[in-house]
């Protein structure tokens, strides 16, 4: 339908296929209304301890988690992939019913997580794209490429 509208509009026709000397601006308001504004909003970051709680920033989400008894920033993470694994590990643990108060002890005892935890638990997990805001991460790809 969009293609047909564009084709008609470029041929001097309105959305209904009628000849028009100009496109009716009243109909354009429907395209720029509140329904389209949601697409322009910044993606929300889900809290680790309660994924239904959404925040504008990673810091706000992690502050909420800390108030619940789990401080992700206190966990030892040295590289990006380790951070991804940790976030997914915690999300899976919460989905499996682990309480926030138990997560800190679990994270402290985890030495290394396997690569299965690279697969996101939440679809389009915004926290994963903002890990640099949370941890001071080293670029692991450079050291892997040079062998140092």
pLDDT in tens, 27-62: 444 444 444 445 557 789 999 999 999 999 999 999
Residue 6's pLDDT band (cuts 50, 70, 90)? very low
Report the pLDDT value the prediction gives residue 53, as an integer from 0 to 100: 96
Weakest-pLDDT range from 9-23, 40-54, 82-96, 116-130: 9-23
- Dihedral (Cα; 19, 24, 27, 32), 10-degree rounding: 120
Beta carbons within 8 Å of 55's beta carbon, 6+ residues apart: 44, 45, 46, 47, 61, 64
Report the pLDDT value the prediction gives residue 76, as an integer from 0 to 100: 83
- Dihedral (Cα; 8, 11, 12, 13), 10-degree rounding: -20
SS3 55: strand
Find the mean pLDDT for residues 93-113: 86
Residue 147 gets which letter from DSSP?
T
Q: What is the mean pLDDT of the chain?
A: 74
Specify whether the CB–CB gap between 131 and 87 falls below 8 A: yes
């Amino acid at each position: 339908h969009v293609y047909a509208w564009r084709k008609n509009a470029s041929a001097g026709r309105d959305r209904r296929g009628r000849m028009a000397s100009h496109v009716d601006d009243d109909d354009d308001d429907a395209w720029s209304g509140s329904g389209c504004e949601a697409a322009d909003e910044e993606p929300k970051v889900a809290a680790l301890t309660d994924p239904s709680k959404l925040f504008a920033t990673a810091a706000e989400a992690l502050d909420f988690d800390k108030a619940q008894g789990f401080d992700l920033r206190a966990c030892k993470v040295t590289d990006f992939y380790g951070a991804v694994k940790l976030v997914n590990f915690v999300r899976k643990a919460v989905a499996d019913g682990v309480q926030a108060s138990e997560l800190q002890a679990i994270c402290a005892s985890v030495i290394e997580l396997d690569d299965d935890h690279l697969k996101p638990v939440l679809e389009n997990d915004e926290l994963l794209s903002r890990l640099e805001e949370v941890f001071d991460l080293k670029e692991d790809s450079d050291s892997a490429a040079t062998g140092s």
